[in-house]
Amino acid sequence: MTVAVPTSQRFDLLDPAEVSRLGGIEIVAEGVVEGFLTGLHRSPFRGFSVEFTEHRPYQPGDEPRYLDWKILARADRLFVKQFEQETNLRAMLLVDASRSMAWHGAEGRLTKRAYADRLAAALALILLRQRDATGLVTFDEAVRQAIPARVKVGQWGRLVRGLLDTPDGRGTAAEAALRRLTSLLVRRGLVILISDLLFDRDLALTALRYLRHRGHQVIVYHVMDPAELDLGGPPEVRFRDLESPASVVVRPRELARAYGETVRREIAAWRATCRRHGIAYHHVTTDLPFGLALRLLT
């Protein structure tokens, strides 16, 4: 079934769950990117950008890929885009597929994994449109998909299939998976980790610091469901750990304050530690429009 979206609305600024009901990952990512890039002339990735400068009339021998089709449709004239510089950025998207990512706190809301997949697909599309080689690694307690960074035709489709072919994980990220990740990222470039970070912080930061030491630019998206920020629910409830047999019965009202303070301290600790080591940290919730999540990189 096809759902019509008013042309006045931009996919990138709509509620993520509402957007995701309009189609699969490809449709969502393409709509988000089109909205996000509307009116933009600069790459969101500072220091690694291909910067647009101006148009000039088409000349025989110019690359067809640089033609501006919008101007052709509007003015029936051929113009090509000129760029100030072009770099050989290699970007790798690391998507956490561990079991905790398959959770959502309210009906109708995206799981953390579904949000991460769509955000990763949008980031990959932006990078590839800049002609930056882009790859993908998905992982839980082991590496599940490892698609080398390429810029050739069809790469975005391969990356999307890599996301779709990665099932929800059985466990959490383990040392073996994180070590494998660092061994895969040999050439310097941009590394974007999208995860709920529900694993050993010291272990993860060791891997991230190693990547920084090797010269990578590292960006972390810390994805949380809004329900994870504050403890709520009935007077008494049993909480089960998604990644172990553990469970506990609690009274949310009695623990709400301490829980909220603990979560905020954890977020602050991740932010401070990442920044201390030159790692860009962004905390996002699954109700944040994708365009606003992308805008954090500008």
Q: Give the model confidence (pLDDT) of 99-136 as tens digits.
A: 999 999 888 899 999 999 999 999 999 999 988 999 99
> In the chain, pLDDT over 90 holds for what percent of residues?
48
> Do 78 and 203 lie in a common domain?
no
> Do 57 and 125 lie in a common domain?
no
Q: Is the pLDDT of residue 246 over 60?
A: yes
> Do 160 and 276 lie in a common domain?
yes
> Do 153 and 187 lie in a common domain?
yes
Mean pLDDT of the chain: 83
Instruction: Give the model's pLDDT for residue 218.
Output: 93
Q: How many domains does the chain have?
A: 2
Residue 140 inside a domain? The answer is yes
Q: How far is CA 251 from CA 21, 234, 247, 254, 256, in A?
A: 35, 8, 13, 6, 9
pLDDT digits 0-9 by tens, 187-205: 889 999 999 998 888 888 8
> Do 148 and 253 lie in a common domain?
yes
Distance from C-alpha of 283 to C-alpha of 134, rounded to nearest angstrom: 23
- To the question of pTM greater than 0.85 for the whole model, the response is no
> Do 202 and 69 lie in a common domain?
no
Residue 138: pLDDT band (50, 70, 90) is: very high
Long-range (24+ apart) CB contacts under 8 A made by 160-164 are 160/25, 160/26, 160/29, 160/121, 160/124, 162/136, 162/138, 163/25, 163/95, 163/117, 163/120, 163/121, 163/136, 163/138, 164/25, 164/117
Residue 185 inside a domain? The answer is yes
pLDDT digits 0-9 by tens, 249-289: 778 787 888 888 999 999 999 999 999 999 999 999 999 99
Residue 275 inside a domain? The answer is yes
Instruction: Give the model's pLDDT for residue 152.
Output: 87
Residue 173 inside a domain? The answer is yes
Query: What's the domain range around 67?
Result: 52-83
Residue 194 inside a domain? The answer is yes
**pLDDT, average across residues 40-66:** 55
Residue 25 inside a domain? The answer is no
